[in-house]
Structure 1
Amino acid sequence: MTKQLGIGIIGCGTISAAYLKAAGNFPVLALRGLADVNSAAAEARSAEFDVPAMTVEAMLADPSIDIVINLTIPLVHVDVGLRVLAAGKHVYSEKPLGVTTEEAKRLLDAAENAGRRLGCAPDTFLGGGQQTCRALLDEGAIGRPVGGTAFFLCPGHERWHPAPAFYYQSGGGPMLDMGPYYITSLVNLLGPVARVAGVTTMMRDSRVITSEPLAGQSIAVEVPTHVAGTLHFVSGAVISIAMSFDVPKHKHLPLELYGTEGSMIIPDPNHFGGEIELASTGGDWTAVETRHAYGDGNYRILGVADMAQAILEDRPHRASGAMAYHVLEVMEAFERSSASGQFVTIASTVERPAPMPTHGI
């Protein structure tokens, strides 16, 4: 019989449905409870997925729950995470790890002091598309990586999200919202970032919601909504990056890598699969078949499953707090660079996580 770890979820908003739908793919996870400060939200998800609703206090006191998934808004990721650790449980957080590196460091230190695991989204880099690209890169398919591009450009989340205000408050913005997918993918492929140069802008101080149920309401903008710059990796590779909520339309692909022997098109890092293409120097683009598991759907609890399996196997988990902290420091550096007009050196470092087995965890 497969060993299981008990799982609780705090935060029953939009993203929780994706986690709950994906949980059935991983026998190592046993869903024990759902909690939210809005009890109606927890009750609704409970009815939808047949998982008990409970209070946060009851969840933290429940000895059958080993890992708590923190799906609250970014502003309270650290506070909730600290409560989970204080209760003696492992914690896996939605991205970003914290709103600032200063507060996120408190979470890292608390996990270490408690002897508990700290994991953090995104886990899409564990999907079949990204892992196949990692294998190709490690095999030398494009030679030594030289450069690349990373672009997420859209008009803003007020067009579709039912309650989009938090995307424009502290802890939001395109870099902290979407940057984790792109930068985590790049760290998995290329290793740690050495320094960052960036420029940030905020062209509007308010937005009008066009999605239901709040259509017509105005929301304040408190963070940069267009961020562009350069990532210089320890390996020497240089990536041009732009994250924006201000772009009506564009033709950029999400991720491209260029090497000494060829180029690679990498799938959208917000998804687990996607199309991969390779081109050797002077050659045409050729599609590459995905080799690894978890490339054929939305497995948005894979990082939790890997962490649970890692606990049972006494090995490092891949979507780690250390990597999330490094990514957060990189993202934070764009505003610092923009304000100073200089490169910002990244103090933290992290090893590339171990590649996934082709068959999955």
Structure 2
Amino acid sequence: MGEQVTGVGIVGTGVISGTYLDHLAKLPGVDVVAVADLDVSRAQAIADQNPGIRAVSPEELYAADDVDIVLNLTIPAAHAAVHQAAMEAGKHVYGEKPLAMDRAEAEPLLKYAAANDLRIGCAPDTVLGTGTQTARAVIDRGDIGTPHAATAFMVTPGHELWHPAPEFYYRPGGGPVLDMGPYYVTSLVTLLGPVVRVTARAGRAKQQRKIHTGPRAGTVFDVEVPTHVTGVLEHESGALTTVLMSFDVWAGRLPRIEVHGTDGSLSVPDPNGFDGAVEIVTPDQREWTEVPVAGGYAGTGRGVGVADMARALRTGEPHRASGELAYHVLDVLESFIDSAVQDQPLDVASTVTRPAPVPLGASPETA
């Protein structure tokens, strides 16, 4: 009996699609069969470069018999509409983060999927790599005792230094929390479980920013959202995570994520990557020591969440980079911003079960 293969159709052929195409071609159990884009020439260019992939309209892709999962790589404002159209055609969907622009837009998607026996998956799938999964294994086997605290820091001076059109990072729907927060909070929920309450404060160092590169260099634009947000996430387990997300820091030596337990501390690599060194300190070993890889899909990249979902569809098991997880993360991030704006702690209405760990040596086809 040959390997079962799940057909994937991609909607949206911008820059990130190239990364997905490269990695999906190396992953077992999935086969990209079609691409679609509002710019037909971009889709056709991909089809011309990849034998076996055809360029079609979005409507044709949704209707195609050989497409089981629609991979939604459109701009965030289109995520919900594309998801809905694909599901109405009977397709499972997987998309780039965020799941939708906000909770109000995302919630109906989950309800529709549940009512129609369809699955929603969502990036980031970086947490399925060896970095976060090794940290998860260390925590789960009790190497640092009971986790009671964590820190999560994402600081940068701002995207206008390198991006030729950075305004969207500083408008509603942007800002450091919604831009990079999904990577950090998805990792934190994977490590420590769901968040039940948030407390935050926010600031804005500059009212205007200036573009530094590209044809519009020198252009000044208004900043419409907080650019420095800090506070605390309270996990259901009782662990407290101190968070700092900022576009207002020129340089920092802050660790990406650390988890602190009753019997040690753990350094977790950048959640925007799939691998990286995990280090531990314990009462018996006071120097930071690298931990051998103990879990995660090794040597992988963007798209492993799609392959993980495809395997889960064939086995009937839950997939790890799920819509429910993405919704909870979006709920936490929006609640965090709301807490800062309203100047009060806020409960997080949603919850989620921690996804199953990815065992050491796993392949998306087997674990």
Q: Specify the TM-score bucket, using the shorter chain as the normaliser.
A: over 0.9
Moved more, 202-211 or 327-336: 202-211
Counterpart of 1:337, as a letter, is: S
User: TM-score, normalised on structure 2?
Assistant: 0.93
Indicate conservation of the 8 Å contact 1:200/1:334, yes or no. no
Give unmatched runs, 5+ long, in structure 1. none
Counterpart of 2:110, as a letter, is: L
Provide closer, same or farther for how the CA distance between residues 41 and 213 of structure 1 changes in structure 2, counting only shifts above 3 A.
farther
The 2-side partners of 1:107 and 1:132 are apart by 32
Provide closer, same or farther for how the CA distance between residues 152 and 86 of structure 1 changes in structure 2, counting only shifts above 3 A.
same
Moved more, 213-222 or 191-200: 213-222
Indicate conservation of the 8 Å contact 2:293/2:360, yes or no. no
1:7 alignment partner in structure 2: 8
| DSSP 3-state at the match of 1:342 | coil
Which one of 243, 251, 257 corresponds to residue 255 of structure 1?
A: 257
Which one of 89, 93, 105 corresponds to residue 91 of structure 1?
A: 93
Distance apart, 1:224 and its partner CA: 2.2
Indicate conservation of the 8 Å contact 2:113/2:119, yes or no. yes
The 1-side partners of 2:274 and 2:342 are apart by 37
Which one of 295, 298, 301 corresponds to residue 292 of structure 1?
A: 295
Counterpart of 1:53, as a letter, is: A
| DSSP 3-state at the match of 1:300 | coil
The 1-side partners of 2:105 and 2:171 are apart by 17
1:157 alignment partner in structure 2: 159
Moved more, 52-61 or 219-228: 219-228
1:26 has 2:22 as partner: no
Indicate conservation of the 8 Å contact 2:227/2:247, yes or no. yes
Distance apart, 1:130 and its partner CA: 1.0
Distance apart, 1:86 and its partner CA: 0.9
Provide closer, same or farther for how the CA distance between residues 264 and 67 of structure 1 changes in structure 2, counting only shifts above 3 A.
same
| DSSP 3-state at the match of 1:15 | helix
Distance apart, 1:271 and its partner CA: 0.5
Q: Aligned ranges for residues 72-91 of structure 1 at < 5 Å?
A: 72-91=74-93
The 1-side partners of 2:10 and 2:218 are apart by 32
Q: Can you list the C-alpha shifts for 1:234-287, whole angstroms capped at 9, x where unaligned?
A: 101111111122221111010001110000000110001001100003611111
The 2-side partners of 1:166 and 1:40 are apart by 25
Indicate conservation of the 8 Å contact 2:199/2:336, yes or no. yes
Indicate conservation of the 8 Å contact 2:137/2:295, yes or no. no
User: TM-score, normalised on structure 1?
Assistant: 0.94
Distance apart, 1:212 and its partner CA: 3.5
The 1-side partners of 2:13 and 2:252 are apart by 33
2:203 alignment partner in structure 1: 201
Indicate conservation of the 8 Å contact 1:209/1:217, yes or no. yes
The 1-side partners of 2:32 and 2:151 are apart by 39
Q: Can you list the C-alpha shifts for 1:3-61, whole angstroms capped at 9, x where unaligned?
A: 11110111112221211111122121110111122223323433444432221111112
Distance apart, 1:201 and its partner CA: 2.5
Provide closer, same or farther for how the CA distance between residues 207 and 84 of structure 1 changes in structure 2, counting only shifts above 3 A.
farther
Provide closer, same or farther for how the CA distance between residues 307 and 207 of structure 1 changes in structure 2, counting only shifts above 3 A.
same
| DSSP 3-state at the match of 2:242 | strand
Provide closer, same or farther for how the CA distance between residues 19 and 214 of structure 1 changes in structure 2, counting only shifts above 3 A.
farther
Distance apart, 1:288 and its partner CA: 1.1
Indicate conservation of the 8 Å contact 1:75/1:170, yes or no. no
Distance apart, 1:163 and its partner CA: 4.3
Counterpart of 2:292, as a letter, is: E
Indicate conservation of the 8 Å contact 1:75/1:171, yes or no. no
Counterpart of 2:20, as a letter, is: Y
The share of aligned pairs that are identical, in percent, is: 47
1:174 alignment partner in structure 2: 176
Give unmatched runs, 5+ long, in structure 2. none
1:334 alignment partner in structure 2: 336
The 1-side partners of 2:165 and 2:227 are apart by 17
Provide closer, same or farther for how the CA distance between residues 213 and 83 of structure 1 changes in structure 2, counting only shifts above 3 A.
farther
Counterpart of 1:286, as a letter, is: T
Provide closer, same or farther for how the CA distance between residues 228 and 44 of structure 1 changes in structure 2, counting only shifts above 3 A.
farther
Indicate conservation of the 8 Å contact 1:195/1:346, yes or no. yes
The 1-side partners of 2:46 and 2:160 are apart by 24
Counterpart of 2:294, as a letter, is: R
2:41 alignment partner in structure 1: 40
Indicate conservation of the 8 Å contact 1:264/1:279, yes or no. yes
1:139 alignment partner in structure 2: 141
